Amino acid sequence: MRIRPERVAEMIKRETADILENHVRDPRVLGIVSVTDVEVTPDLSFARIYVSVLPQGSAVENVLLALQSAAPYVRRQLAPRLKLREMPEIRFLHDDSMARGTRVDYLLKKIAEGEPLADEDEGT
């Protein structure tokens, strides 16, 4: 029986969220990271874990550095939970889709209310 990458990705997403919430003790990560998506290569050798970070801006880089340093720990915690023959290498990446969505909502609201867009509004 062959395990599909999509199913593995969903399991990694669920378990990584639990690990980050309940087992990682780094104060740079606690309570401010949400796992939004996981992509796994077809051969299950590599997984990209996309995370959304609550405070935007320069704090994102610090959180990503903390997650990268925690990646070996997270991978060791995932291995027995997933029961795979080989555990994929993992990499954490920032998912800014929520921030972009909020920005689009803001711009659409301004347009609907008939307010002119400032130059900096139009650039994004």
pLDDT digits (tens, 9 = 90+) for 1-54: 456 889 999 999 999 999 999 998 888 787 788 899 999 999 999 999 999 887
In terms of Cα–Cα distance, which of 14, 70, 66, 67 is closest to 38? 14
Say whether pTM exceeds 0.85: no
Where do the domains of the chain lie?
5-96
Q: How would you class 51 by CB atoms within 10 Å of its CB: exposed for 0-12, middle for 13-18, buried for 19 or more?
A: buried
Q: Which CATH architecture has domain 5-96?
A: 2-Layer Sandwich (3.30)
Beta bridge partners of 33: 53
Among candidate residues 21, 19, 9, 96, the one with its CA nearest the CA of residue 52? 96
**DSSP, residue by residue, 96-116:** -HHHHHHHHHHHHHHHHTTPP
